[in-house]
Structure 1
């Protein structure tokens, strides 16, 4: 059985791809196989879908790296572990380059690598009673999926260091308060929140969403001056296109002949 299941949902206003991490017996813990399937599934889904949703099977998002896999690979030496981490980090990094929004739906556990995957997506929607943490230090380990770099950029250095060093758990509501997630909802309302989020994205101009994502993601790696220049260039290119022109006409009430 595949460790990542992909389902496409064709709607009147666009196509949604749902990728489900599918190791429910292990709370969707990350193996080399799952990391590779996630990377390939994301890349394939983005070719035809307008929105990509990532969630976990069995009531949990992802419990992090599979300890049995780590133990097995560790016996072969440190280099044997490289494919596990490089493949998972590659999947997380890929999300930033995709031209479509990637939405994580988080319930149950999102620990260690699962917490790092949440940090990588464009929009995270969480159950208010979800359990999230970078708990590597609790097991004498260190983040290996990007958490030491992404978390400080999202929540600031003092809060990130405090969280990673102490390994305390966060709720879904805490994640929203910290700026780690966009919105949360109780279990009975989570699917409705996900649907509203996806429908909102499908109602937007695809090119505009892609350009916004590219500007925000790219701006994090350069200076403010470089980012502003990129924004101006992208804005002019976008406004010169037919789709932007149609949007402006709708706003102004103008009808083109």
Structure 2
């Protein structure tokens, strides 16, 4: 890995846990998405899931991600649909992989998170955003349509009326509005953003990895199926987890005795 790679990856030890930091590294283009960045993100996510207990994605240069790189899209468009397909499928593959990883994936969102960057925010497990961040699916403003999952994920997160209103108008949202809509977990003032991010990561890193993996799989799988199937799966997972050696019942009983 070099400083010029489109995605930088590092792992730190924190309280006996490991935290992977993935940085979208095209600051001169506000971390706009190219094939190399999309493929680099997918590869880095796959490796990080084996190396760490929590993954944090953020952008370099004060912005999260401004969406697809216009120069790349123009070049691929001239080459034909097959070339463009590589860009879309590489990025969607990275976003889809997040749901399958057995560790929490956190987005630290500051500056612009537009188009594809906004779609990436919708794909993570937890998004922490600065109050003054700017988020939008602005494809329609450029005569384009979502290509990274926004037309499918956003309605599932905020509902059809709000999703259609937003995608069709391309209106911008602040970080605070994104949290109000349920797109982000929490919106934080700029002055306390890094401290809040550290606290969130420490919270996750201090929890049992297997428990977090089961919870994530239950929630992710449950929204794709029926309530009855989800409840049955939850019971089976609870029984299997409590039968394991790492289940945390002793923590509660020891605390209660104290």
Offset at residue 221 of structure 1 (A): 1.2
Aligned-partner Cα distance in 2 for 1:240–1:3:
43
- Residue in structure 1 matched with residue 228 of structure 2 by the alignment: 225
Offset at residue 184 of structure 1 (A): 1.4
* Matched residues, number: 253
Aligned-partner Cα distance in 2 for 1:5–1:241:
36
Q: Select the residue among 97, 100, 107 that pairs with 2:100.
A: 97
Q: Secondary structure at the match of 1:243?
A: coil
CA-based RMSD of the aligned residues comes to 1.1
Structure 2 gap ranges (5+)? none
Per-residue displacement from partner, 1:98-155 (whole Å, max 9, x unpaired)? 0000000000000000000000000000010000000000000000000000000000
State the TM-score, normalizing by the size of structure 2. 0.96
Counterparts of 1:8-87 in structure 2, within 5 Å, are 8-87=11-90
Aligned-partner Cα distance in 2 for 1:11–1:126:
22
Offset at residue 254 of structure 1 (A): 8.5
- Residue in structure 1 matched with residue 253 of structure 2 by the alignment: 252
Q: Which runs of 4+ in 1 moved over 4 A?
A: none
Aligned-partner Cα distance in 2 for 1:173–1:142:
25
Aligned-partner Cα distance in 1 for 2:135–2:120:
11
State the TM-score, normalizing by the size of structure 1. 0.97
Q: Secondary structure at the match of 2:215?
A: helix
Aligned-partner Cα distance in 2 for 1:161–1:18:
33
Offset at residue 84 of structure 1 (A): 0.2
Aligned-partner Cα distance in 1 for 2:203–2:239:
25
Counterparts of 1:1-257 in structure 2, within 5 Å, are 1-244=4-247, 247-253=248-254
Structure 1 gap ranges (5+)? none
Aligned-partner Cα distance in 1 for 2:185–2:229:
27
